[in-house]
Homo-oligomer: A and B are copies of this chain.
Amino acid sequence: MTKQHPLIVRALNNEVLERPPIWFMRQAGRYLPEYRAIRGDHTFLTMCHNPELAAEVTLQPLRRYPFDAGIVFSDILLPLESMGADLTYVPGTGPVIRNPVRTSADVGALKDFDPVRDLPSPMETIRLCKAETDVPILGFAGAPFTMACYLIEGQGSRNWPETKRMMFGQPQLFQTLLDRIADAVGDHLQAQIDAGAVGVQLFDTWAGVLSPEDFRRWALPASRRALSRVSGAPRLFFTKDSAPFLPWLKEVGADAYALDWRVDIGEARQVLGDVPVQGNLDPQALHAPEDEIRRRVRRIIESAGPKGHVFNLGHGITPDIDPEAVAAAVDEVHNWSWN
């Protein structure tokens, strides 16, 4: 008798299910007191690079809630560090790269990235988690455009002016940089699958700052290039602003699309076509009273329909969320039945 695939894999294979599987972006995070207890003793980067600590915080939400998947605790910017970025996390600012990439010489100086050689910790974290739990573990990486934003700007930005200056003013150099990053993150996703990840998600957090013309010229083909290097497990693609890009999103070539909360998930499916989707509760709706949280969860499941839907937030959970709100959302999904 073959063992049945886990619910999350079945949803990502576009199967009709009795209820959607559920996990939350950034579920291993600061809203959990047990996470803050560990984080208090270690820097964020130390935790990312230490598989024992990373596995512990990956498992924390799985002990507290019946999530249908875990996601490896790591950070999208780690491959950039391996490629030569001098990365730190500054309280109140977030990630800072002290040697931002602005010139042809800067791009040329980036090192090649071999995930197994240069960044073994996420894969080791996945192995440690798998030894502890039967809950499937997802891997992830940052999409090339989003990674380029941080690498060029040197830190988070509202408008990403340096990134756009290079994109508009040095398009060939920008393309070279995207290609380098695409290959690196593609290999990084593949290595996580090889280490046992049941699926992977590519996060294009900042693609939504682009016009449709620029999304199609830059971000979309770069993510397609990254995902084309990956096989053996379902590949999800997430962008924080999906509404403008829905008509072309499938050109990314992912197996499933994670949608933010600014689209109705059922209407988005009409545009996307017959492909699995993930999402899409407003993370801030977890501030609502429990009845309203449960109503919104049901509404999303109804809108998405029984086929190929993974329940999730439309963006990462924020540190100010009450863990009880998460319990209510997870419970409501588990109580659902299409039959």
Interface residues in chain A, defined as those with a beta carbon under 8 Å from any beta carbon in chain B: 159-161, 164-165, 168-169, 208-214, 241, 243-244, 261-264, 267, 282-285, 287-289, 292, 299, 314, 318, 320
Q: What's the dominant secondary structure at chain A's contact region?
A: helix
Report whether A289 and B212 are in contact in the complex, using a CB–CB cutoff of 8 Å.
no
Report whether A282 and B161 are in contact in the complex, using a CB–CB cutoff of 8 Å.
no
Copies of this subunit: 2
Which of B164, B288, B289, B318 has a CB less than 8 Å from the CB of A287? Answer: B164
Report whether B262 and A169 are in contact in the complex, using a CB–CB cutoff of 8 Å.
no
Count chain B CB atoms within 10 A of each CB in A161, A211, A261 and give the residue with the most. A211
CB A90 to nearest CB in B, in angstroms, measures: 15
Which 9 A-B pairs give the minimum distances between C-beta atoms? A168-B288, A243-B244, A164-B284, A165-B287, A244-B262, A243-B243, A211-B261, A212-B264, A211-B282
Report whether A262 and B161 are in contact in the complex, using a CB–CB cutoff of 8 Å.
no
Report whether A164 and B212 are in contact in the complex, using a CB–CB cutoff of 8 Å.
no
Known contacts A211-B262, A264-B212, A283-B159; A289/B243 CB under 8 A: no
In the complex, which residue of chain B has the Cβ closest to the Cβ of A264? Answer: B212
Report whether A288 and B169 are in contact in the complex, using a CB–CB cutoff of 8 Å.
yes
Report whether A168 and B289 are in contact in the complex, using a CB–CB cutoff of 8 Å.
yes
Q: CA of A292 to CA of B164 in the docked complex: distance in angstroms?
A: 12
Report whether A164 and B282 are in contact in the complex, using a CB–CB cutoff of 8 Å.
yes
Q: CA of A283 to CA of B161 in the docked complex: distance in angstroms?
A: 9
In the complex, which residue of chain B has the Cβ closest to the Cβ of A280? Answer: B211
- 28 A-B residue pairings within 8 Å (CB atoms): A159-B283, A159-B284, A160-B284, A161-B284, A161-B318, A164-B282, A164-B284, A164-B285, A164-B288, A165-B284, A168-B287, A168-B292, A169-B289, A208-B262, A209-B262, A209-B284, A212-B262, A212-B263, A212-B267, A213-B264, A213-B299, A214-B282, A241-B241, A241-B243, A241-B262, A243-B243, A243-B244, A244-B262
A159: B residues at CB distance < 8 A: 283-284, 318
CB A247 to nearest CB in B, in angstroms, measures: 9
In the complex, which residue of chain B has the Cβ closest to the Cβ of A287? Answer: B165
In the complex, which residue of chain B has the Cβ closest to the Cβ of A214? Answer: B282
Q: CA of A320 to CA of B264 in the docked complex: distance in angstroms?
A: 36
CB A30 to nearest CB in B, in angstroms, measures: 14
A243: B residues at CB distance < 8 A: 241, 243-244
A299: B residues at CB distance < 8 A: 213
CB A165 to nearest CB in B, in angstroms, measures: 4
